[in-house]
Amino acid sequence: MELIIVIIFILGYLAITLEHSLKIDKLIPALLMMALAWACVAIGIDGFENWFDSGNHEMVKDFANLPLEGHHGEASKMEWFESTLLIILEKLAKY
């Protein structure tokens, strides 16, 4: 999954650098790159060994052993994914 994300980033960055030749705004490939990369992370989250907690600026302990979906407030991989995505979207919205 990491290789696919890297390829998406390289193609997106290439599209941004060639914006004049392609006659598109930088925003279009940047948003597409972001959406596809986050979709790949969501699809392959079960294979991630580690996760960075953006709120506390530290690695999540024992992330690989967490369940994909939590029950009754139990910590889960999808809960960490949603929390990270919300923090990033909140920071983007401030600009």
Question: Could you give the 3-state DSSP secondary structure of residue 58?
Answer: strand
Unique residue bearing structure tokens 């979709």: 39
- As beta bridge partners, residue 13 has none
Higher pLDDT, 29 or 54: 29
The whole-number pLDDT of residue 8 equals: 96
Tokens describing residue 80: 């960490």
| pLDDT over 90 at 20, yes or no | no
Considering only residues 1 and 33, tell me which one the structure prediction assigns the higher pLDDT: 33
Nearest to 85 by CA among 28, 39, 32: 39
Give the model's pLDDT for residue 71.
80
Give the per-residue pLDDT at 12.
Answer: 94
pLDDT digits (tens, 9 = 90+) for 42-93: 999 988 899 998 878 899 988 999 999 888 778 899 989 988 999 888 888 8
